[in-house]
């Protein structure tokens, strides 16, 4: 009797390789032995293929998953694999149900009896197929994750519902529907993605920037920024602006074009902490040492620089003014030319701010030693006159997100709060285990929230959770969290990794919207 070398062998036509590769990747990441020919090219090189295929598909694999499609029926080698799998099921001991058909379309496969139960990938999607395969193998995503520490496993944050003819998640039947993983890349550094014009840009803690093809995650280029650490990265009208440390109390801002070529560099007093584009081709840059620069986007030359009294946490430009959130001096408001206009003090740090309809909204972090939670404060954007204040019972570490007359603020516990922007009235609250350091991403009436578990997608009006994706790490690590999600027309991109240290572990995922 031949030794069972593989838990699952995948039989497919080359035109259907994307589905096979995704299934193989998921199972392999969970520690299962998978025969996927693209991963075994060295083993197959120079062998007598009919003999090898008969052995692998007929005797050495516990199960054979057959991806049934028009392309499969037309493929000579796929039919050879299928015949080997059928022979193994017929003559092998305890192999009566070893052939597992997975339909990609409605093409009839000669030799496959119509009474054999099958799964429909069009209805299930890859996540459900993998979960059912794991059940067939006598395990689960969670159990497999515990067997193989530190491997990340994606799973829906939605229950799977049995239905006639298949399994579906929350009524969605398409394998390309919202939440379907398109690709995934691992890096030996925490990463925060940005997307622009078909590129996904990643700012890595190792001092480099990587550009990936948004369609498939393939690397296009990698640029060494020659700094200690990449602090921030933004995209302004086709230029990638990268802020890095350059020694104690020194920093550098570098502009790269879409091909990764350096256009200009600017040395800064203090680490360049935050950036904000403005009109007339300028970008405002704030540093940890309290410097505020107005920089020409095309040349990198500073038009003017103002020395403030505290670390710059965030900048907003609106109504012919520059609004600055600081670490110790509240909110400072300057003319675009750099002259001071007015300010508002705050008892603790101001993590961030936003301007909306002649109103300035800003958060105050809170003081745990005094038992005081954070706040949202709203004042007149032109004169600083107080309008309203909302108190939280826990700390706040990020500025508000403005969306259709509402403010969205995550707190220390991971609860997302939605307030009416004009009055501060609480409209709803939703516990999504939100990352407390990242803003919400808004697209129309849909909210994309990076969480400590992965990604949650909510409706703006009521806060209902529409779907979510969890990234499981074992052993559990409460330092792991998601960066702010970024969007293009087709996908949502999510960075996930260590949120508190510069560890050598980070991933980026692309999901269908």
151 with 229, same domain: the answer is no
Pairing relationship of beta strands 359-364 and 353-356 according to DSSP bridges: antiparallel
Helix (H) or strand (E) holding 169: strand 166-169
- Return the ∠ at Cα 414 (arms to 410 and 417), rounded to 5°: 40
Interatomic CA distance for residues 289 and 311, integer angstroms: 5
Kind and range of the H or E element at 300? none
Alpha carbons 243 and 82: distance in angstroms, whole number: 55
165/23 same-domain check = yes
Residue with tokens 């939100």: 434
Residue 508 lies in a domain: no
Q: Read off the CATH number of the domain in which 255 is found.
A: 2.40.10.480
CATH classification of the domain holding 163:
3.40.50.10140
Q: At a CB cut-off of 8 Å and minimum separation 6, what does 172 contact?
A: 125, 178, 179, 467
- Look at residue 174 in the predicted model and tell me its pLDDT: 33
- What is the per-residue DSSP string for 82-105? HHHHHHHHHHSTT-TT-EEEEESS
CA distance 242 to 234: 7
Last residue of a domain, one of 307, 339, 374: 307
Are residues 105 and 249 located together in one domain of the fold?
no
pLDDT digits 0-9 by tens, 277-303: 877 788 999 998 899 999 998 999 988
CA distances from 256 to 23, 25, 243, 321, 404 (A): 37, 33, 11, 28, 34
* Same domain flag for 138 and 10: yes
Tell me: do 35 and 132 sit in the same domain. yes
Largest CA distance in the chain: 86
- On whether both 42 and 148 belong to a single domain, the answer is yes
**Where among 307, 332, 349 does a domain terminate?**
307
Same domain, 155 and 241: no
Domain identity same for 151 and 248: no
Across 288-393, where does the E strand assignment appear? Answer: 291-296, 302-307, 312-318, 321-326, 331-335, 340-344, 353-356, 359-364, 375-380, 386-391
Residue 431 in domain = no
- The pLDDT, as a whole number, for residue 151 is 38
List the structure tokens of 391. Answer: 């108190």
In this predicted structure, what is the pLDDT of residue 15?
Answer: 86
Query: Is residue 113 located within the same domain as residue 234?
Result: no
Does 84 reside within a domain? yes
Structure tokens, 311: 């670390």
Whether residue 160 sits in one domain with residue 18: yes
Q: Is residue 359 part of a domain?
A: no
Task: Give pTM, 2 decimals.
Answer: 0.67
Is residue 236 in a domain? yes
- The answer to the question of residue 423 being in a domain is no
Domain hosting 289: range is 225-307
42, burial (CB in 10 Å: exposed 0-12, middle 13-18, buried 19+): exposed
For the chain, what is the domain count? 2
Orientation angle between helical segments 121-136 and 17-29, nearest 10 degrees: 30
SS (HEC) of 415-458: EEEEEECCCCCEEEEEECCECCCCCCEEECCEEEEEECCEEEEE
Query: From CA 99, how far away is CA 63, in angstroms rounded?
Result: 6
- Among 147, 169, 191, give the residue marking a domain's end: 169
Dihedral sign of CA atoms 30, 35, 36, 37 in order: positive
Nearest to 37 by CA among 69, 3, 13: 13
271 φ, ψ (degrees, to nearest 5): -65, 130
Residue 162, preceding bond cis, omega within 30 degrees? no
Mean pLDDT by 10 residues, the chain (513 residues): 81 89 81 84 83 88 93 89 85 74 91 87 85 83 43 38 27 52 83 89 84 92 80 86 84 91 91 82 89 91 86 91 93 90 94 94 89 94 96 92 96 93 96 85 94 91 91 64 90 80 70 89
Residues 134 and 257 in one domain: no
What is the predicted pLDDT for the residue at 446?
Answer: 95
136 lies in a domain? Answer: yes
Domain annotation covers residue 481: no
Find tokens 């197959």 and name the residue.
44
438 contacts 483 by C-beta, under 8 angstroms: yes
Residue 421: count of CB within 10 angstroms of its CB: 24
Query: Are 229 and 165 members of one domain?
Result: no
pLDDT of amino acid 421: 97
Asked if 386 and 362 touch (Cβ cutoff 8 Å), the reply is no
């Amino acid at each position: 009797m031949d030794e069972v070398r593989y838990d699952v062998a995948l039989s497919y036509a080359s035109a259907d390789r994307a589905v096979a590769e995704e299934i193989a990747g998921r199972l392999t990441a969970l520690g299962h032995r998978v025969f996927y020919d693209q991963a075994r090219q060295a083993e197959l090189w120079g062998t007598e293929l009919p003999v090898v295929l008969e052995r692998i598909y007929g005797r050495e694999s516990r199960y054979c998953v057959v991806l049934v499609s028009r392309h499969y029926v037309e493929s000579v080698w796929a039919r050879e694999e299928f015949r080997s799998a059928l022979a193994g099921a017929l003559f092998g001991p305890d192999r009566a149900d070893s052939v597992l058909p997975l339909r990609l379309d409605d093409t009839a496969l000669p030799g496959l009896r119509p009474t054999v139960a099958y799964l429909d990938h069009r209805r299930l999607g890859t996540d459900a197929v993998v979960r059912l395969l794991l059940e067939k193998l006598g395990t689960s995503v969670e159990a497999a994750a515990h067997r193989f520490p530190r491997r990340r496993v994606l799973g829906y944050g939605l229950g799977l519902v049995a239905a006639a003819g298949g399994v579906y998640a929350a009524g969605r039947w398409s394998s390309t529907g919202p939440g379907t993983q398109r690709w995934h890349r691992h890096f030996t550094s925490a990463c925060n993605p940005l997307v622009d014009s078909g590129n996904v840009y990643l700012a890595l803690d190792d001092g480099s920037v990587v550009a990936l093809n948004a369609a498939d995650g393939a690397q296009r280029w990698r640029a060494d920024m020659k700094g200690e650490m990449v602090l921030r990265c933004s995209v302004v009208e086709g230029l990638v602006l990268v802020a890095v440390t350059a020694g104690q109390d020194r920093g550098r801002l570098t502009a790269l074009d879409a091909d990764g070529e350096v256009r200009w560099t600017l040395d800064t007093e203090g680490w360049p902490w935050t950036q904000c584009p403005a009109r007339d081709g300028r970008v405002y840059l704030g540093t940890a040492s309290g410097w505020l620069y107005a920089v020409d986007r095309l040349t990198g030359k500073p038009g003017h620089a103002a020395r403030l009294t505290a670390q710059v946490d965030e900048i907003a430009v609106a109504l012919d003014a520059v609004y600055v959130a600081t670490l110790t001096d509240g909110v400072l408001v300057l003319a675009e030319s750099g002259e001071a206009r007015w300010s508002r003090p705050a008892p603790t740090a101001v993590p961030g701010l936003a301007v909306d309809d002649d109103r300035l909204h800003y958060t105050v972090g809170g003081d745990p030693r005094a038992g005081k939670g954070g706040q949202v404060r709203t004042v007149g954007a032109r004169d600083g006159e107080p309008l309203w204040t909302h108190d939280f019972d826990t700390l706040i570490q990020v500025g508000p997100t403005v969306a259709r007359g509402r403010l969205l603020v995550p707190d220390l516990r991971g609860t997302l709060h939605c307030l009416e922007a004009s009055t501060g009235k609480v409209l709803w609250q939703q516990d999504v285990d939100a990352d407390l350091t990242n803003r919400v991403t808004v697209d129309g009436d849909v909210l994309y929230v990076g969480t400590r578990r992965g990604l949650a997608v909510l409706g703006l009006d009521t806060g209902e959770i529409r779907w979510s994706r969890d990234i499981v790490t074992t052993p559990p690590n409460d330092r792991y969290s998601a960066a702010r999600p970024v969007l293009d027309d087709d996908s949502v991109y999510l960075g996930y990794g260590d949120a508190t240290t510069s560890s050598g572990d980070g991933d980026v995922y692309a999901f269908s919207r």
